[in-house]
């Protein structure tokens, strides 16, 4: 894990890094309260399709978790995204998704297949990131939480199925339809507490498919949250509510400030 840059602001240290996994350099960011020492919970944030590790709302919430709860927080660029995106590919994907948004029946088989290839690649990347970050003495081997919507959930489900260090997860904006047998199998293997978010009028995920995904989750403790609106209209209070959800399961550690 090579740290590439560091920035200190409002009591939070933000460090960029690169970690090589299976020959690919994976770019990421780690947020920690300044002067953090010793073991603490680790929160993994998976961005959505077309976003990246420095999507401003993601960064704002990462900083808040680090400052207010003392969590270590890490985000990486998913395959095909952020510093890993090839401009041609990004344009092609955006075109795919724009097309799906105006069609009926949710994500097309093409878009879904591409995203599932990314998810399959992302799982060992996230696992290597957990190894590397927890090896830092200022993070340590505390409990791990995952949050991510849409593409962040397509990656999160197989990651949760594979990775026993993750103890709680906030997911959503993904459904079960044709071509999602792999996602369904992963969902059924999930056993940790999950908060699952859907949008009632999601143009990419038909209502019945989102409900079927919630139903398929293997967790004994799983809560569905739904709000009116389209795919991108998740109300801000939902992400804010994840903090109470994670704290309920992992606790917080006192802010060093």
User: Which one, 56 or 228, has the nearer CB to a second copy?
Assistant: 228
Residue 7, interface with a second copy (CB under 8 A)?
Answer: no
Element of type H or E holding 119: helix 109-134
State the minimum distance, in angstroms, from the CB of residue 226 to a second copy.
4
User: Which one, 51 or 225, has the nearer CB to a second copy?
Assistant: 225
Angle at 40 between CA 223 and CA 146, to 5 degrees: 35
Residue 215, interface with a second copy (CB under 8 A)?
Answer: yes
User: Which one, 91 or 240, has the nearer CB to a second copy?
Assistant: 240
How many of the other CB atoms lie within 10 Å of CB of 25?
A: 12
End-to-end CA distance of the chain: 28
Count of residues that bind a second copy according to CB under 8 A: 18
State the minimum distance, in angstroms, from the CB of residue 245 to a second copy.
9
Residue 236, interface with a second copy (CB under 8 A)?
Answer: no
Residue 241, interface with a second copy (CB under 8 A)?
Answer: yes
Distances (CA, A) of 114 to 108, 110, 127, 175: 10, 6, 21, 16
Residue 255 half-sphere exposure toward CB, CA atoms < 13 A? 11
How many of the other CB atoms lie within 10 Å of CB of 102?
A: 7
State the minimum distance, in angstroms, from the CB of residue 21 to a second copy.
36
Task: Give residues in contact with a second copy (CB under 8 A).
Answer: 200, 211, 214-215, 220-228, 235, 237, 241, 244, 248
């Amino acid at each position: 894990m090579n740290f590439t840059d560091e920035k200190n602001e409002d009591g939070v240290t933000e460090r960029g890094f690169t970690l090589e996994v299976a020959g690919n350099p994976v770019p990421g960011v780690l947020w920690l309260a300044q002067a953090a020492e010793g073991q603490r919970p680790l929160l993994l944030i998976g961005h959505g399709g077309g976003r990246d590790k420095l999507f401003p709302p993601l960064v704002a919430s990462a900083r808040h978790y680090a400052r207010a709860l003392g969590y270590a927080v890490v985000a990486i660029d998913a395959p095909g995204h952020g510093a890993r995106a090839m401009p041609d590919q990004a344009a092609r994907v955006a075109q795919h998704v724009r097309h799906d948004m105006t069609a009926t029946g949710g994500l097309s088989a093409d878009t879904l297949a591409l995203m599932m290839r990314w998810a399959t690649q992302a799982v060992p990347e996230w696992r290597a990131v957990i190894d590397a970050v927890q090896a830092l003495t200022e993070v340590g081997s505390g409990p791990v939480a995952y949050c991510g919507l849409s593409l962040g959930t397509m990656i999160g489900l197989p990651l949760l199925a594979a990775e026993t260090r993750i103890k709680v997860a906030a997911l959503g904006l993904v459904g079960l339809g044709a071509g999602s047998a792999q996602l369904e199998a992963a969902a059924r293997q999930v056993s940790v507490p999950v908060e699952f978010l859907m949008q009632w009028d999601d143009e990419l995920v038909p209502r019945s498919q989102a409900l079927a995904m919630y139903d398929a989750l293997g967790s004994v403790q799983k809560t569905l949250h739904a709000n009116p609106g389209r795919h991108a209209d998740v109300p801000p209070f939902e992400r804010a509510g994840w903090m109470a959800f994670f704290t309920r399961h992992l606790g917080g550690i006192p802010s060093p400030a």
